[in-house]
Amino acid sequence: MKSQWDCLLENLGAWEGSFTRLSPVGEVLEDVPSIVSFTGLNNNQTMRQIVRLAPANQPINEKVLEYSSLGRNILLFDNGAFSQGSIQFAPFSEFGAELGLIHDDRRLRLVQLFDKQGKLTGLTLIREKLSGSETPERPPLQVEDLIGEWKGEAITIYPDWRSPDSYRTGLKIWKDSDRLHQELNFGRTITTSARIEGSSLKFDSGIQVLLLPDGASSNCPVEIQLRQPFVLEVGWLLQPNLRQRLIRSYSAKGEWISLTLVTEYKIDS
């Protein structure tokens, strides 16, 4: 793998889009036009990041950051995909993370936030394209887009800098009346079932998957349970038969333990 700093440089450029604030059940609350730019300084040894938000009927909000190193709360992949956020879940503390995917001249980012009781309080979906790009946004994700058999490759990286792990994945998804079933295989097999409620999938385990604009999906607990491992995940349907998922995993102790990027292809619809 490249150095973490070189992975960050995959995000250079001006990214135009919007920050869409969503309720815990996926209702759009606010959509704010945005430009986020990354400029390399000092022969790319320093990064200047400018976040410019233009809310309706309000002054433009601009934040300028400069940094030459990365914190312990972020990890990146070779293509520039990344996640940053809380490294520890603990009672009575606010908690959350951002998950970012990048493909050609578009980025998709999702922020998932939880209150001091561990309950999901809201999401922010950020859809961006490089300045000057004409690549259109993908359609909103539908249940039917997920049905079929998916084969993929996963790479897992770790905050403690141990060697990455690479492995194959398999995922079968099928629908039965108002329920969606999935069988996930990554060395072991996990079968789960969800109730379909419009653009929301309610899993029996307390996990909620929201189907979102631009082919995106949000996967996280509705409420984080103490002493139970959990994951925060974003998915992105890039083409009808190509999907990426980014998964930030936490242990039963609430510790951030890994970040996994899955690239999967549908082989049967």
User: pLDDT tens digits, residue range 219-260?
Assistant: 999 999 999 999 999 999 999 999 999 999 999 999 999 999
Confidence (pLDDT) at 186: 81
- Phi and psi, residue 8, nearest 5°: -60, -35
Q: Residue range 42-68: average pLDDT?
A: 96
Q: Residue range 193-218: average pLDDT?
A: 96
**Long-range Cβ contact pairs of 88-94 (< 8 A, separation 24 or more):** 88/254, 88/255, 88/256, 89/118, 89/224, 89/230, 89/250, 89/254, 90/254, 91/116, 91/117, 91/118, 91/226, 92/116
Provide the mean pLDDT of the chain: 96
Confidence (pLDDT) at 91: 85
Structure tokens at 89: 């879940």
Confidence (pLDDT) at 212: 98
Q: What is the dihedral of CA 128, 221, 119, 142, to 10 degrees?
A: 50
Task: Name the percent of the chain lying above pLDDT 70.
Answer: 99
Number of domains, the chain:
1
Going across the sheet that includes 82-85, the strands are 61-67, 46-53, 28-41, 13-22, 120-130, 106-114, 95-103, 82-85, 74-76
Q: Can you give the pTM of this predicted structure?
A: 0.96
The answer on pLDDT for 27 being more than 60 is yes
The answer on pLDDT for 195 being more than 90 is yes
Q: Which residues pair with 18 in a beta bridge?
A: 33, 127
User: Cα angle at 27 between 24 and 29, to 5 degrees?
Assistant: 100
Total residue count of the chain as it appears in this document = 269
Domain that holds residue 51: 4-132+139-268
The answer on pLDDT for 129 being more than 80 is yes
Cβ(211)–Cβ(199) below 8 Å: yes
Q: What is the pLDDT of residues 163-172, one digit of tens each?
A: 999 999 999 9
- Max Cα separation, the chain? 59
* CATH for 245: 2.40.128.20
Alpha-carbon span 77 to 235, nearest angstrom: 16
- Note the Cα 198 to chain centre separation in Å: 21
